[in-house]
Structure 1
Amino acid sequence: MCQTLTNGIEWRERPGSGGVLVCLHGIGSLASAFDDLLAYLPSELRVICWNAPGYGRSEPLASDWPMAADYAEALLSLCDALQLEHVHVLGHSLGTLMGAAFAADHPDRVASLTLAACAQGRATPHGGTLSENDAQRLVDLERLGTAAFAAVRAPRLIHASDRNAGLVAAVREDMAQIAVPGYGQATRMLASGNLAADCARVRVRTSVIVGAEDVVTPPAQSRAAFDALSASVRGDYVLVSGAGHAIHRQAPAALAHTIASTMRNTLPMTGTVQ
């Protein structure tokens, strides 16, 4: 995967001659978290994974309290710069809020949408008081520092973490690279997010997938997002046993299958999921 900085956004690419899949990571993650997924996606698919604003070398957003629509506009700017007119979108966790906002606001640019381990958001008024959980994220990060913060939180993202030390280590490595102000901006966006409201506005085919053992964003959140979709755009709702929150690491084959199935029902596509 080559890594590039364009319009203030850092992104990674696996070249391909087919359609384009844009991958949006979660709040404690990075573009590189999708590397393991690539082996399960059709080889001709061009895959672009961004570091969200404020992550990696990507510039933070101008607002201290951005909304999901602000990240959607940053994504639009990247797509414009890369001359990507029509993309398939995968959002994981916090990335589901970004992906749904992008699809809802720019339906002419999105061919299909896959939402994995949905972060529903809390609909906190912009500039309001953060919930106890959201406020504690920022307190813990400042108190512990990134390395210890990641060590505490990473095991929760992997089901049966004691038997999956390698996956936990990979999640911890990503999370240890978060920084302010990007993480603070993302936390406040999560606080104000309302995924169900954006899903109700989506007009492209959308599938939802979640690990049955996800304790970070339990399956009920993903089910609520799926139920909010118009019946005319609903793809598949997939519950994966034996997988936790980091479904792109713990169940990449199931996630790839869901993405490819959703894509096949929108635009012609060749290749199979391994």
Structure 2
Amino acid sequence: MKIDFSKSKILIVDDNPANIDILLELLSTFDVRAVLDGTSALEAVQQELPDLVLLDITMPGMDGFEVCRRLKEDPKTKDIPVIFLSASSDSNSIIKGFDLGGVDYVTKPYLAKEIVARVQTHLKLRMTMRVLDRLANVDELSGISNRRRFFADTSKLFEEMKRSNTSLILFIIDIDNFKTVNDTYGHSIGDSVVKAFVSTVKKNIPSYNCFARLGGDEFVLTMTSISQDQARDQMERLRSNIEQIRIVQNQDIRFTISIGMSRLEPSDRDLDELLARADINLYQAKKMRNALVG
């Protein structure tokens, strides 16, 4: 499979303008930026995340090793592949580079075909990892987090909110009569219902922390640092807006949602307790249909 690298963003960090000019020429088919020192490099990645960093080791002030260490400490930048650049082939430097999280080590003077090949290889690996991450963590139909991602992220969030004594509100949302919609109108309409629901949540709930699909017609949403009344008001507006949606123009195909709500209590030992209370409230809401309980 041929890959278009023209949009791949590469950041070059080198204090020698002559070295930068060489790399800019060799990598002219990529989207390349360059900076002359470590501090500028850290600022540049915050402004726009690159797909790859080519990082000179020996620079005045902050050297390449320190830049890499800081990149790997930051959750936002820790997965960016770093290729070290150096005039030295000293084994200790190479080992240190890999220990700090570098993915490769290129020595000067550069061989044109070699550096392009190494850059392309690590960009391909980066793209592959992104695809695998999406397959593992994103619901294919809706484009939001899947069950696995929800539990991984929200279990950590639960512990953080409990330690800081910060509010955590959780909603389990069920599309009413979803099986009937599929059976009556077909699965393509059912898919449209799911997509319309997800789109409406994104437009109407600006403050959610995590939004995930747990199963076919069941979703979960969390909010933090918000009062219970504020969270409830947002979800009531969502519920009201959902019932106004027409899935197919000129046809009266509509749907509603039922919502179970719970909040983090001091006595909660884990996320499961929060989910269990929301699930009980959802059961009550579904008895009424198109309702919020909690």
Smaller-chain TM-score bracket:
0.3 to 0.5
More helix by share: 2
Instruction: Choose between structure 1 and 2 for higher RCO, CA contacts under 8 A separated by at least 6 residues.
Output: 1
Looking at CA atoms only, which structure, 1 or 2, has the larger radius of gyration?
A: 2
What's the TM-score, normalizing by structure 2? Answer: 0.33
